[in-house]
Amino acid sequence: MATIENFATVSYTSGGVSATKISNLAEIELDSSLSFSKTTLGTTYSANTPVTYVLSVTNSSTAPITNIVITDDLGTFTLDTTELTPLTFVEPALLLINGQDSTSQLTVDSTTAGSLVFTIPTLAPSATANIIYNALPNEFAALASGSFITNNATLSSDSDCADGAATATVTVADAADVEVVKTMSPNPVVCGDTVTYTIRIYNYGNIDAENVVLTDTFTPAPENITVYRNGVMLDGTGYTYIDGTLTVPATAGDTVPAAVFTRDATTGEVSVTPGVVEYVITGTI
């Protein structure tokens, strides 16, 4: 919204002397001829999962508006003196005008870091345009619990009274992200030898993985097994081993801690150190 300011000047003579008089300053608010908003499908983000954004523009005037340019900063922020952009545009973008696919009219420029530019050549009176696009959180996106990404979009056009700005914020999803890696040694093994099974449970998420239950069915089933969790041997009450199936219930060690996220002070990249629980099972084949 802009303010129009205006005053008038009157020139006159009084007794042969020229004089002027200036009116008071009059002001009115000038509303944009376009309504502009930015929303997301969903309210959270996570690593390796695109966020879907919707830019909506409605021409509320009685004349077409041309050269509508929307610039989105993709969440760019400053770390010390370095600008970092936590989102990467994922092609293609879709343009709907009054619900009809009009993507052929849309121009997209993603060549400048931290600046995604959409151009709509014209928008008819009372028409609504929706630009739908995806952006993927990248190595600069904060992932610790409580983090968020705010990206700002600005709109300009050939009309002096058709502009706008919009903002959308997504917060990081709080979730455990578990991966399990198992190894066996030695290789090869001979009947009668002791086999060691190492199982590492990694949590790449930003909250703990709780109530963890480990189940493993061995074929062939080893005998005289021992079970260690993070280097501590579990006694017979800490697990069950029946017909070659090992079960370590949640009561034995029920949490895999959340990952630790560290931002490099020089590059700004976020590194992930997963939380881990290690089980080592030995037995005779």
- Do the domain assignments include residue 8? no
Give ∠ CA 198-207-147 in degrees, rounded to 5: 135
> In which band, very low, low, confident or very high, does the pLDDT at 161 lie, cut at 50, 70 and 90?
confident
Whether 184 shows a pLDDT value over 90: the answer reads yes
DSSP conformation class of 24:
P
Kindly state the average pLDDT of the residues 195-221. Answer: 94
The predicted pLDDT at position 14 comes to 81
Give residue 75's domain range.
32-172
Kindly state the average pLDDT of the residues 173-181. Answer: 96
Whole-angstrom distance, CA of residue 78 vs CA of residue 71: 18
Q: What is the DSSP string of 256-269?
A: EPPPEEEE-TTT--
> In which band, very low, low, confident or very high, does the pLDDT at 244 lie, cut at 50, 70 and 90?
very high
Residues 106 and 128 in one domain: yes
3-class secondary-structure state, position 241: strand
Residues 124 and 187 in one domain: no
- In whole numbers, what is the pLDDT of the chain averaged over residues? 92
Whole-angstrom distance, CA of residue 192 vs CA of residue 189: 9
Region label for 191, one of left (φ > 0), alpha (ψ between -120 and 50) or beta (otherwise) = beta
Boundary residue ending a domain (113, 144, 172): 172
- Do the domain assignments include residue 143? yes
Whether 1 shows a pLDDT value over 70: the answer reads no
Across 99-193, the runs of DSSP E, i.e. the strands, are 100-101, 107-112, 115-123, 128-137, 148-156, 164-172, 178-185
93-130 confidence digits (pLDDT tens): 999 999 999 999 999 999 998 899 999 999 999 999 99
3-class secondary-structure state, position 105: helix
- Do the domain assignments include residue 10? no
CATH number at residue 113: 2.60.40.740
Residues 45 and 159 in one domain: yes
What is this structure's pTM?
A: 0.80
Residues 184 and 267 in one domain: yes
Q: Which residue has the tokens 């996106």?
A: 141
CB-CB contact of 143 with 176 (8 Å): no
Kindly state the average pLDDT of the residues 202-212. Answer: 95
Give ∠ CA 53-50-274 in degrees, rounded to 5: 140
Residues 107 and 230 in one domain: no
Region label for 111, one of left (φ > 0), alpha (ψ between -120 and 50) or beta (otherwise) = alpha
Residues 56 and 161 in one domain: yes
Residues 154 and 234 in one domain: no
Q: Position 155: which residue type? A: L
Residues 64 and 161 in one domain: yes
3-class secondary-structure state, position 234: coil
Structural domain count of the chain: 2
Residues 97 and 151 in one domain: yes
3-class secondary-structure state, position 152: strand
Kindly state the average pLDDT of the residues 128-152. Answer: 97
